[in-house]
Structures are given as C-alpha cells and as structure tokens.
Chains A and B, each alone.
Chain A
Amino acid sequence: MAALAEEQTEVAVKLEPEGPPTLLPPQAGDGAGEGSGGTTNNGPNGGGGNVAASSSTGGDGGTPKPTVAVSAAAPAGAAPVPAAAPDAGAPHDRQTLLAVLQFLRQSKLREAEEALRREAGLLEEAVAGSGAPGEVDSAGAEVTSALLSRVTASAPGPAAPDPPGTGASGATVISGSASGPAAPGKVGSVAVEDQPDVSAVLSAYNQQGDPTMYEEYYSGLKHFIECSLDCHRAELSQLFYPLFVHMYLELVYNQHENEAKSFFEKFHGDQECYYQDDLRVLSSLTKKEHMKGNETMLDFRTSKFVLRISRDSYQLLKRHLQEKQNNQIWNIVQEHLYIDIFDGMPRSKQQIDAMVGSLAGEAKREANKSKVFFGLLKEPEIEVPLDDEDEEGENEEGKPKKKKPKKDSIGSKSKKQDPNAPPQNRIPLPELKDSDKLDKIMNMKETTKRVRLGPDCLPSICFYTFLNAYQGLTAVDVTDDSSLIAGGFADSTVRVWSVTPKKLRSVKQASDLSLIDKESDDVLERIMDEKTASELKILYGHSGPVYGASFSPDRNYLLSSSEDGTVRLWSLQTFTCLVGYKGHNYPVWDTQFSPYGYYFVSGGHDRVARLWATDHYQPLRIFAGHLADVNCTRFHPNSNYVATGSADRTVRLWDVLNGNCVRIFTGHKGPIHSLTFSPNGRFLATGATDGRVLLWDIGHGLMVGELKGHTDTVCSLRFSRDGEILASGSMDNTVRLWDAIKAFEDLETDDFTTATGHINLPENSQELLLGTYMTKSTPVVHLHFTRRNLVLAAGAYSPQ
C-alpha cells in the first residue's frame, strides 16, 4: 500500500535513511563531546545526584553547549541508543557510579573502568571501601542492568550498539557494556519494575537507626521549623515532605512495620495536600516486599528530591541538626536530598507554593539555564501571487489596522531572521512540495480574512459533539485547515470525518490505477475512487484504546497511538495503515506530528518520549528523564524542540538536535494533560488535573502566569492564531477563554528574577478570564483555532 503514497520520498517504511535529509542520530562522538555523554548534561537536568554528578562534571568543566561539533572519530554506525542511555531519573549518584565501576571490573573491561574513574575523579580507595566486594559486584551488575533495561527494554535488540572504543565516555560505557555482554538476555524483557533485585538500589536504606526514635527526630525538626522565624519557616517547611517520605521508607525497608505505620499516621497530615496522590501510594506500601518494583518508591530512591533554599535558612538548619546531633535526618538530607542553595532573601510561602509540587521537588536552577532558540524559523519565500494578495489587503480600507500586528509577525518570519530563532538548518527539515506551497498560499489568503481577536472581540466557538460515543472517545485531532476531524476511540478504532462538503475518497485499486491516463491534467482527480466517497472512514488496526491522534500538516497522513504500545501511521489517500512503529512497549499516551511534517514525537507509560521520522522504524531520539508517564507531547513551532508533560508533574523541554533536556518546569500539582506553545514560540501553556493552567516563558525558563478557574482536568489548550487568546477545555465541561496578551504583557523578566527564578505571580487570573462556556455534559477534549480564528471544540457527550 505504501507504494500508493504520492511521492517516493514519502513512502513510509524505508530501512535506509536516504530519502529526505534526515536527522541523524547523535553519534557516539557527539555524546562524548557533550562531556561524558548524558552524565553531565543529564546530571543537572535529570535530577541526578549532587556528589557524584558534580565530581564528574569536573571532567569537562563548564556548562555543555548543546551544539557540539560531531567528532569524526566516532564510529558512525552507532545507533540511536546513546541518547537514550541516560536513564529515566538519571541516577548517577555515588552508589550507581561505584556499582558501575565494580561491574566493569568484574566484566574485565579494564580500560573502560579506568576511563570512567578518571572522569569521575574517584579514587581507587573509594571503590574498594564501598563494601564487601562480592556483594557489591553483583549488586552493581544488577543496578546497571536494571537501569538500562528501562531504556533498552523498549529499544529493540538490534538497536544496541557495539561496545564503543576505549576512550568513550561514561554514559556510553554504561550502555555499551550492558548491552554488549550482559544485557542481550534482558533486552526486550520487562522493565525495571519486574527486576527481582532492587535490593541493591535500596541498599542505601540499610543504615539502621533506632526505629522508635524516628518520630522523635521528625517531631523535633518540626518543632524547630515551626518555631523558626517566619521568613525561614516557609523555606524550611519544604523539608517536611521528602524527610517524611524517606524516613517512612527507611522504616518500612528495615521492617519496622508498626513503627512505620504509626509514623505515617502521625505525620502524613502535615504534608501539603498536593502530595496526596503520592502519599496514597506510600500508605499502601507497608512491607519490604512491596518496595520491590514499586515505581513511586524507585523514583524517590533514584532521584534526589530537589529543594531550593536560601543560604541563611540552610545555615539555620545545618546548625540545628549539628547541635541536636540529629544524624538520622542529616544523613537523609545528605543522601537523598539535593539542596539548591541560593544567596539572598528567603522566598515567601507563595513563591514556594507556586513552584513546588512535582514528584522530585523543584527543578535545579542550572537545569533551565541553557539557551533555547525559541524563535520561529524563517518562512520560505513563496512566489509573487501571495505578495499581491498582501498588497491588496493593505490597500483596502479598514484593513491596515487589522493587518499591522500581523504584519509584524509575518514580517519577522519572512523578512529578517528572528534573533532567537535557531539556524535554519539546525535540524534537517523536509523540502517543501508544490502542494505544501499551495497550502501555504491558501493559508496566507485565509490569514487576511482572520478575525482580530481581543477582549472585546471574542471568537465564536463551534462545538463538535460526538454522539453515541458511550464514553469511548479518547483522542481528537483536527487538521490545520479544519477540513478533517479524527477521533480515537476506546474500541481501538480511529474514525476520520470530513467536516466540509468534500467527501473522503480513497485511491483506486492498483489494477484500476493502471488504466488511468497518466498524462491527463486531472490525473489527481482520476485516481480517486468515487464509489468510496463517504463522510466517515474508519481505520482498524490498533488493539487497544487510541489515546493520541495527529494529522500530518499536509493532510496525507494520520498518526495514532494506542494502549497496544504502537504508533500507527495511516494514509489518508488509501485509508490503510502504512507503518506500525513499535518501541514503546507500554501504552503510548500521545503522539504529534512536527509542524513541518516528517518527524513525530510520542510519549507513553514507559516514561520516555521518542522522536521518530516517518521513514525510520526506530526512534531517532529517546527523551528520557521523566519520573512517571509522559502524558502529552508537543512540538515547538520551530520543530527544534519538543515539550512533554508528565504524570510526575513536571514539564520538560527537549532539544531535538541532541536529545538534551533544556527546560524543566515545576509547579503543577497534578499530572499534566495538555500543552500548547504560543504561535510566536516564546511561551508555553500547560494544563493539569489540578484544573490550573500555567504559563511559562521558555526563553527565561520561568513561570509567568497561573490561570485558575477550571474545576477539573484541563484536557486541551490552544492559542489563537495570533496568540491573543488562550482557549482551554476541560473535563468540567467548559471552554474558557483567557486574555493571553494581558497575561504576557508585564512580565518580570529582570535579571534578578531570571537569575533566581523567584517569581511573583500576579493574582489576576479572574481578570484574564474572558469567557466561560458550558456544554451540557460534554468534556472538552480538543480545541482548535481555524485559520480565521474560529474556535472548534470537540468532545463526546457523556450523559451522567
């Protein structure tokens, strides 16, 4: 069927990447150039350890530049895995590093071991002194394979690279050695949850304190914090939750069940309410056996909880703990917490509350420092007729006013290069086809008729209700030109509707096609089979609920992602499935085409997001770092970045070029279910189950707004075409419109705020709310602005 696709380069399955210029996987040398691969980059970003990570950072010094020249010496055959090697959570803390060293020694990979040790700057004694050799040996091996299996398990066997050369970096060593000698058996098997020996990871909990003292320790600290000065209290209160969790886990791990229970009973009420989901998981964890394979537990263990505390408060705490000789707490602080100390005024309770809430604390400040090219790419010059159109529009009465701001945006796009834009060829993009150009022209024409929105001119909302869906509608997408609507359903089907009078037709059978006169002018019309014309086409192929759907920009393809672990590419010419992309072995929650087509991103329960190209059956990049499911994935308008929202309550921004995480946004108090970029690429809006919409400045890496109003999960977000209005749709059956211009107009982007990340959110979300529109009983699953700024909303009527 693939042969029927319009152009050869677009034919989906191709084993050799030779068609369009493709984004090559980052090569091993690239990884090395980044300074020990993911170790340094993901150390800070991925919420990894402080001690080991910082010591290994010493190796390459300074912040790594994301655009590092590809070293020619690297073996070109290295497959995409290296980018993936830094595992979810990036647990490069001391134990892991030691374990890896032990493992290398055991596997007689002498040189690699040497290299890694040099990188890490660890002394021989440290390794030797870390415990009984035999025990650590096996433990180390398990850790490595456990960590890796998360990534490699989902990356099919053939992707595993050969063990790289001796000079390779730490990260590559990990992946190389594990997938070389040890891993093959485990590759493709179940992920880390089912690994029998998590005990190694847990070993840090072995330190035995007097279990009966724990309550005393905790309440002592609580008393201290509550009695401290107001300005410090809010900051130090951040300690409660991670300490509580780790103390509880220690008690459970050391099998003091009753103590653990009473500890939990006594203190769980102190914790902030937004940790309640995690606490619920914790409360059910009552036995050591349960700790094996509990993901939440692993998250706590493998990633350090990041706290941001002012130096004064930290000193206060330190002094207190030293006075009290409170070693138990001090150990936890040392082992499991990463305290990001800053100089200056302690933050207020509000400031803290705005930023906390994620599974692993706040993002470290360094995590959001790297430069992001958030500008838009230069639009390709499109021939004269468009300009004529433009001029005409300008000459008409009344139009100029309307056009001015648009002019700006267009101007910046086409005339001069946006200073914040990435280089045009930063990632290879597909060539424009003639049909694309036609579409662009259409788009421009529509643009001139676009309604200029604002608080006084609200858009009309057309609601597409899916009737008789029986609660089965799980995903919706609308094409950019608003001509097609696709719905993914719990019964595994994908349905495509045409919402224009033009019916959906598929291409004729091959035998009939051969009869067509290929020279005729209307060949494109002739190849269509009139008999198949209908308003609705149903695509069968998945074997589980379809959680994500996305049209390609050229409307020739449709992507769908499903519970069955696959992403499928459908042709909208033949209405058949072209490729099934396997990689996520667990449910795939979301997928989206790049705004330029060809690439797409998917994210799922396996906690990673993957970047694919339609003609590669394996992912080009694996974005690993989230500590829980990746719920939603969106491309930046310039296609150079991908944003992911996760159940760990963070939003991350990834660089498509090198797979690095360049932004971590914390502040949501619930799993994130919707994302959208502003059309100018500067801002990101995210919505979560907590019913709030948060606005982020990508360039500065700051939260810039909070929109309160929804009472249930925000399922869909979309900016108007010019970015004046943000529409949000929610499970609470409402569509709300927000004044985006006002929300972004007076941003505190002075140096201080930028440097410290201390934000003062204006309490004006009620002023920003422009309208609330209630449906009868229809959760709003999808929102879309047509090219003329009409809102299309969609959802399934679900009678209560």
Chain B
Amino acid sequence: MDIRHSEFLPCLHCPPFVGPLPVSHVSFSSACPVPLPGSPSLHRGLHPSREEKRDSRMAEEKKLKLSNTVLPSESMKVVAESMGIAQIQEETCQLLTDEVSYRIKEIAQDALKFMHMGKRQKLTTSDIDYALKLKNVEPLYGFHAQEFIPFRFASGGGRELYFYEEKEVDLSDIINTPLPRVPLDVCLKAHWLSIEGCQPAIPENPPPAPKEQQKAEATEPLKSAKPGQEEDGPLKGKGQGATTADGKGKEKKAPPLLEGAPLRLKPRSIHELSVEQQLYYKEITEACVGSCEAKRAEALQSIATDPGLYQMLPRFSTFISEGVRVNVVQNNLALLIYLMRMVKALMDNPTLYLEKYVHELIPAVMTCIVSRQLCLRPDVDNHWALRDFAARLVAQICKHFSTTTNNIQSRITKTFTKSWVDEKTPWTTRYGSIAGLAELGHDVIKTLILPRLQQEGERIRSVLDGPVLSNIDRIGADHVQSLLLKHCAPVLAKLRPPPDNQDAYRAEFGSLGPLLCSQVVKARAQAALQAQQVNRTTLTITQVLSLSTSAPGSGSTTTSPVTTTVPSVQPIVKLVSTATTAPPSTAPSGPGSVQKYIVVSLPPTGEGKGGPTSHPSPVPPPASSPSPLSGSALCGGKQEAGDSPPPAPGTPKANGSQSNSGSPQPAP
C-alpha cells in the first residue's frame, strides 16, 4: 500500500470517469458558499435541520448526508489500462480504490484550507498544488485553470458520467487570432460604502433595494421581508453574487439581502422623492426629450445602469405613457422616438422590477407600433424605424414579462392579428402589426404570417401595380413588402428543403413568391457560411437568425424558446431555438450568444401542405422529444451544468420564460 498518490492524481483528468468523483463531492459541497445566517450549523446546505430541531436529539431529524464515497473500482481499471497494465485483479482494484479515495479526500480537505486562507469561495487548482506540497508530494504541473476545472456531467441509461471536455484546437486559429490584451494590473479604487450610516446609491454599491425585494413588495405587500425567509431563492437568476451554477448558493444568498432589512425598512406607502431625486428626475427627463443628443445619451445611460432608480420608477412610467399620448396626437415623431428609447433604457436596467408598470408601458409602446399616423409628413419621415424599434421593444417585453397568468404575449399577438386581418387597416398600421408579430419570433412568423403571405402579396401587388391612388399607400405597401421579405425569408430557409424553385414559391406564396425565393437563397448562403463555424452534432440545430432585424435588444431573444399555438386541436409545437453563434451583424449584442443546448429540436419538415389555405400548417412535434417540457428541462439542466455565461441584463428571466412557455397557452 505504499503508493505515491501523486501517480494517481493526474489521472483525474483521464476521461472517462465512471461514477461520481469523490473530489467533486468533497470539495464542491464544502466550497459552496457557506452557511445560513444565524445558525451555528455550518453546512446547512447539506444538513437541513434547523435550530429548533437541534434541541431534540432525535437521530432521524438530523441525518447528516455524510457517506464515504469511494471511487468505483472500474475507474481504477480504466486508469490502469491507460497506463498499460492490462490485467488487474479485482482485489487489487478494491484496495487501490480505498487508498486513492482516502488520499484524494485528504488532499481535498487540505486544499480547502488554502481556499479559506486565500479568502476565496472557489477551490482552485493551485490550492490542490499547495495541499500536495504540504504532504511532500510533487504538485501537478500544468493545470492552472483560473476557474474551476470544467468537468462536464452527463447522464443517461441510469449511468452518470463526468468527463473533461477537451476541445480540439486548431493551431492556426490560435496563431492567427490577435494577441489578447494584457490583463490589467491590480489597482485600488476607493468609494463610499456608507456615509454616516447610509449607503449612497452609486454604481459602486449594490442597488439599495434588490430586485427580489422590489418584487416582494410588489407582489406581497402585506408580508414584509422577514429575516430568514427564503421566498424566491432560485427563481430569479439575478442575485447578489449568486453563483449561477449552484442553486443552493442562491438560496443561501437570499436571506442576507432580506435580513437586517426590517430594521431600516422604509415606509412603503409614502412616495416622496428626496430633493436630490426630484432634481435628478427633472434633469433626466429634460435631457431625454431635449435637443442635445449628447446629454440624452448620458441620461439614457444613467437610466439603463443606475441602481437606485426604483423609487422614481412610477414617475418615469407616467412620464412615458403621458408623453406618448400627447405626442401621438401632435404627431411629434422625434419625441416619440425619445420616449421609446427611455423605455428601452428602463428595460435594460437590471436592478429595476418593472412588472408593476408594464400595464402603463405596453399601451404606450403599442401605440407607437400601430398608430395610423405618427408624424406630420408620413411620406417623408421615417416613422417606419420607430415602428420597428417599438416592435422590438414589445417583443422584449413579451419575453421578459409574459407569464401564464398575465398572457401578455397572447394578448399582444391577438391585437396585432386583429388589426392586420382587418381589410380597412391603413398601410401604416398594417406595417406595424406585421412588424410586431414578426419580432415575436420565428414560430409566430411561421404560424401567423406565412399562411397569409399570398393574401398580403395580392394586396401589395394591387397597390404597387395598380393605378396610382396615393403616394402614401404606395410607400406603405412597399415597406410592408420589404418587411415581409426580410422576416419571412430566414424562416422559410429553415423550413423548406434546399432546392429553391421560383415556380414553387410562386405557387405557394403568390405574387411575393419570386422575391421570397431569391431572399431565401441569400439566407441560405448566409446560413452555410455560419455552419462552417459550428460544430454540428446530430442533436444540435443551428439556427441562423435574420440578420438585420435583430436589434440589440432582441439579440438575446434568440435563446428563448417561443411557443406558438395553432387554433385547432393540434399539439403545441415547441421549438427550443439554439443560436449557436450570433449573427455577425449583431455579434456584440447577444450576451448569451454562445450558448449551446443539447436539445432535440424538430428537423425541418417543411414539405407538407403549406398550401395557400388559411390553415396554418401544423408541424408534427419532434419524435425524439415527446413533451415540450422534457426539452426545456433538459435544456435547463444543461445550462446549469455547463458554464453558461454570467447572466447579462437581458437573460435573468430566460429560465422563467422557458418554463412558462412550456405550458400550453390558450389559443388566440
């Protein structure tokens, strides 16, 4: 049994390891960010007993989850084989397993010490090195990951597998990439954490009222935040330093936010703003609608990032809705645009709990999409851009705030559809409705727009080719046409199998057919370009987004699945869209653009009966994922296990909306 354990440790990195690794067991459980408040129990994450329970010594209540996990002896075999020892006796394996497990645990426990003394929450490889050094063992060289070693977890067939993902790296890629910037040097920065007992609301400090608290206040006004109440731990990804990978961490983090609050809770009913806040509000609103663009940019930036705005939120919301009301009547396009930009900025602020004010914002935004007239000279002014922008905003709102109870998305969809279907709708409104629908995602396009393409094409043709009735109509029809082409082409490219035949398109989509066809061809070329960079597995579906349409805001919508329902009894079609890489034009916008889900998605079965009928073509649910929920569950699990990028302003709700969309919505 005189084994130098060092010889075994490098094998940690030998894939595949069967069974749970004890190292991960030991280290992660203890490295997880620690105990809950107020209790001397150190690891309540593992040990759920409460203080009151501790009074009685009943064994059942206080079962610690401690078991002596050992490496399976198969692992020993695998390791032995990898070192060229073919036959190894079962007994030997067993002995080795015991010994190696013990040594690994011992080292992991020592490594924890270094982690604690290093004032970190994460165990690093260097901690392990130092622990080895303590034992007079040569440390492992070459494993200096700054972050944790990304062991991946997979399970299937009742077996669990941890593996170390080793990507093949093309050297030429590395050589050709420009050198990364030199990391910044350590520097000191001072700020006021507290001034005579009050924490100033500056960007360096966390928002005065965390989003959870704002929500708690909004939804449960009677229940004041009490210490120790873990109301919505993992529900929202947004939390102070909550580790995204660890649900437990969030639960534990939740109380400190609430705790201590009861002492200095502000009376909620009073909505008085301090003088500073009033000044700020005045400055900001004036700058936002003023004439100086630089000032406006600054003000919008402030709205989008400042953590302390939540007290002023009702004022802003009223300002916007009133502003829209007045300026639509006056046809003041510029002001409408400014107000929409304010909405956008508010939505971008990660610290605001906007749900309370959505009812004021949505009508304002919708007005800017579908209003008959938005400017004084509709033939010259580019009110189309405003409609596009507002449409993206509505899509963003849907994505963020739509739940099964408020049904925002379905109500909005219904509104748009109604005004579009109406024969008498002017072209401007028509444009807005289509834009609004198109921004809601591919599935909406597929089920609601594509079936009407032919009809709409006819209408457009009648205006464009027919006698000149009015220039305004002509321009409107022109815009609607390009809008339809822009949005439908990428969807069609995905739905239809490759040979793009002008005649087939014409047969299916009427007068718009030929134009669509050429657009689809273009889209395909783009997709092919993308596909080269994407590692195609059988399970991953690359979906290329329409390029120019995705606005900075909606870039993040790509990760959210959209559920559409068809009016018949058809099952719900669920598509978890997986944008593997962001489209080039929006590359900087999509925060989660490199997310990859192993999700079974439907293969394009676009053949079928997508006839010119008004029946939407039902797409059969994918055979391999029988229920939409399983898809999203898998996807969620993957996201947790993987190293998903930190939640960006847009994404925290992604999880929520995924689960929401999994449940059936009433048909519009």
Interface residues of A (CB under 8 A from B): 190, 194, 226, 233, 237, 240, 261, 264-265, 267-274, 276-277, 279-281, 283-287, 289-290, 294, 349, 353, 357, 457-474, 485, 487, 489-490, 495, 497, 499, 544-545, 547, 563, 586-587, 589, 605, 629, 631, 647, 669-671, 673, 689-692, 708-713, 715, 731-736, 766, 769-777, 779, 781, 791, 793, 796, 798-800
Chain A's closest residue to B242 (CB) is A800
CB-defined contacts of A469 to chain B, threshold 8 Å: 186
Known: A283-B68, A457-B196, A671-B116. A464 touches B40 (CB 8 A): no
Residues of A within 8 A of B184 (CB): 467-468
Instruction: List B contacts of A471 (CB < 8 A).
Output: 118, 120, 122, 124, 146
A226 touches B263 (CB 8 A): no
A474–B118 contact, CB under 8 A?
yes
Instruction: Tell me if A731 and B190 are in contact (CB < 8 A).
Output: no
> Considering the chains assembled together, what is the distance between the CA atoms of A572 and B193 in angstroms?
30
Does the CB pair A287–B34 fall under 8 Å? Answer: no
Nearest-neighbor residue (CB-CB) of B105 within chain A: A284
Please, which residues of chain B bring their CB within 8 A of the CB of A269? 59-60, 62-64
Q: CB of B528 within 8 A of chain A?
A: no
Whether, in the assembled complex, B188 has its beta carbon less than 8 Å from a beta carbon of chain A, the answer is yes
Q: Among B47, B102, B130, B256, which residue has its beta carbon within 8 angstroms of that of A273?
A: B47
Q: Which of B198-206, B483-491, B549-557 contacts A (4 or more CB under 8 A)?
A: B198-206
Please determine whether A466 and B205 come into contact, CB atoms closer than 8 angstroms.
no
Minimum CB–CB distance from B301 to chain A (whole Å) comes to: 18
In the assembly, what is the distance between CA of A285 and CA of B186, in Å?
A: 43
Cβ contacts B97-139/A at 8 Å (1 or 0 each): 0110110011001000110111111101010001000101000
A504 to B374, CA, bound (A): 63
| 7 tightest A-B CB contacts, nearest first | A458-B197, A269-B63, A772-B260, A463-B193, A273-B41, A461-B193, A461-B194
> Are B146 and A589 closer than 8 Å at their CB atoms?
no
Do B130 and A279 touch (CB < 8 A)?
no
A–B pairs, 8, beta carbons within 8 Å: A284-B105, A459-B196, A461-B192, A463-B191, A715-B119, A736-B260, A796-B119, A800-B244
A687 shortest CB reach to chain B, Å: 13
Residues of A near B47 (CB, < 8 A) are 273, 276
In the complex where A279-B66, A711-B255 touch, is A272 in contact with B185 (Cβ < 8 A)?
Answer: no
In Å, the complex CA distance between A285 and B103 comes to 10
Residue contact B42 to A690, C-beta cutoff 8 Å? yes
Chain B residue numbers with a CB within 8 Å of A499 are 188, 190
Bound complex: CA of A689 vs CA of B112, how far in Å? 12
B259 contacts partner chain A, Cβ-Cβ < 8 Å: yes
Kindly state whether residue B350 has any CB partner on chain A within 8 Å.
no
B256 contacts which chain A residues (CB < 8 A)?
711, 732, 734, 772, 774
- Given A287-B98, A774-B205, the answer on whether A544 and B64 have CB atoms closer than 8 Å is no
Q: B38 — which chain A residues lie within 8 A by C-beta?
A: 708-709
CB distance from B439 to the nearest CB of A (A): 32
Q: Is B252 at the interface (CB under 8 A from chain A)?
A: yes
In the complex, residue of chain A having the shortest beta-carbon distance to the beta carbon of B257: A774
Is B188 a contact partner of A485 (Cβ separation < 8 A)? yes
Q: Do A731 and B121 contact each other (CB < 8 Å), given the known contacts A690-B35, A774-B206?
A: yes
Write the nearest CB–CB distance from A229 to chain B, whole angstroms. Answer: 14
The one of A284, A349, A670 in contact with B106, judged by C-beta atoms closer than 8 angstroms, is A284
Chain B, residue nearest A290 (CB): B102
Asked if B569 is at the interface (CB within 8 A of a chain A CB), the reply is no
Please pick, from A459, A487, A711, the residue contacting B186 in the complex, using a CB distance under 8 A: A487
**Which of B37, B63, B194, B204 is in CB contact (< 8 Å) with A771?**
B194
Contacts of A796 in B (CB 8 A): 119
Q: How far is the CA of A770 from the CA of B264 in the complex (A)?
A: 10
Main SS of chain B's interface residues?
loop
B113–A462 touching, CB < 8 Å: no
A210 CA / B240 CA spacing, docked (Å): 55
Is B116's CB under 8 angstroms from A689's CB? yes
Partner of B62, one of A273, A353, A669: A273
- What 1/0 mask marks residues of chain B from 173 to 197 whose CB sits below 8 Å from any chain A CB? 0000000000111111111111111
- Give Cα A653 to B191, complex, Å: 37
Q: Does B498 contact A (CB under 8 A)?
A: no
Q: Are B102 and A712 in contact (CB under 8 A)?
A: no
A-B pairs under 8 A by CB, number: 255
A331 to B185, CA, bound (A): 61
User: A279: nearest residue on chain B (CB-CB)?
Assistant: B66
Mask, B195-233, CB within 8 Å of A = 1, is: 111010000111000000000000000000001000000
Closest to B47 in A: A273
Known interface pairs A290-B102, A709-B37; A467-B186 also in contact (CB < 8 Å): yes
> B539-561 interface mask toward A, CB cutoff 8 Å, 1 = contact, 0 = none?
00000000000000000000000
Q: Which of A273, A357, A774 has the most CB of B within 10 A?
A: A273
Residues of B within 8 A of A353 (CB): 40, 54
Interface range on chain B: under 10, 10 to 19, 20 to 34, or 35 or more?
35 or more
Contact A265 B67 (CB under 8 A): yes
Min CB–CB distance B422 → chain A (angstroms):
51
**What chain B residues lie within 8 Å of A289 (beta carbons)?**
1, 99
Distance, CA A226 to CA B101, complexed state (A): 36
Say whether B41 contacts A261, CB under 8 Å: no
Q: Which B residues lie within 8 Å of A691 (CB)?
A: 34-35, 37
- CB-CB under 8 A from A283, the residues of chain B are 66-68
Instruction: Give the CA-CA distance A771 to B55 in the complex, in Å.
Output: 30
A729 to chain B, nearest CB (A): 10
> Is there an interface contact between A464 and B1, defined as CB atoms closer than 8 Å?
no
The answer to whether A775 touches B193, judged by C-beta atoms less than 8 angstroms apart, is: yes
A489-B188 Cα distance, complex, nearest whole Å: 14
Residue B57 interfacial (CB < 8 Å): yes
Known: A287-B99, A462-B191, A468-B184. 7 other contacts (CB 8 A): A264-B68, A280-B30, A461-B192, A466-B186, A563-B114, A587-B130, A775-B206
In whole angstroms, how far apart are the Cα atoms of A444 and B263 in the complex? Answer: 36
Contact B64–A462 (Cβ < 8 Å): no
- CB of B142 within 8 A of chain A? no
Contact with A800, one of B34, B63, B101, B243 (Cβ below 8 angstroms): B243
Is the Cβ of A776 less than 8 Å from the Cβ of B205?
Answer: yes
A226-B57, A273-B64 as given contacts; A712 in contact with B35, CB under 8 Å: yes
Is A733 a contact partner of B241 (Cβ separation < 8 A)?
Answer: yes
User: Contacts A190-B136, A460-B194, A467-B184; is A769 near B102 (CB within 8 Å)?
Assistant: no
8 Å CB contact of B34 from A233, A586, A605, A712: A712
Q: Which residues of B contact A281 (CB under 8 A)?
A: 109
In whole angstroms, how far apart are the Cα atoms of A760 and B560 in the complex? 56
Contact among A268, A474, A774, A777 for B66, CB-based, below 8 A: A268
> Residues of A contacting B196 with CB < 8 Å?
457-460
Q: Chain A residues with Cβ under 8 A from B109's Cβ? A: 280-281
Among B106, B185, B199, the residue within 8 A (CB) of A468 is B185
Contact B195 A460 (CB under 8 A): yes
In chain B between 402 and 429, which residues have their CB closer than 8 angstroms to a CB of chain A?
none
Verify B117–A631 contact, CB threshold 8 A.
Answer: yes
Q: In the complex, what distance in Å separates the CA atom of A547 from the CA atom of B127?
A: 13
Instruction: Give B467 Cβ to nearest chain A Cβ, in Å.
Output: 64
Q: Do B37 and A708 have beta carbons less than 8 Å apart?
A: yes
Q: How far is the CA of A374 from the CA of B213 in the complex (A)?
A: 46
State A744–B466 Cα separation when bound (angstroms). Answer: 93
Contacts of B118 in A (CB 8 A): 471, 474, 490, 545, 547
Residues of B within 8 A of A732 (CB): 33-34, 256
Taking the nearest CB of chain A, how far is it from the CB of B245, in angstroms?
10
> In the complex, A467→B259 CA distance in Å?
28
Query: Is B515 part of the binding interface, using a Cβ–Cβ cutoff of 8 Å?
Result: no
A769 contacts B116, C-beta separation under 8 Å: no
Cβ-defined contact, A773 with B240, below 8 A: no
- Residue in A547, A587, A799 whose beta carbon sits within 8 Å of that of B646 in the complex: A799
Please pick, from B64, B116, B130, the residue contacting A713 in the complex, using a CB distance under 8 A.
B116
Cβ-defined partner of B54 (8 Å) among A273, A284, A673, A708: A273
Shortest Cβ gap from B55 to chain A (Å) = 6
Decide if A273 touches B49 in the complex (CB within 8 Å): yes
Known A460-B196, A495-B186, A775-B205: A769·B42 in contact at CB below 8 Å? no
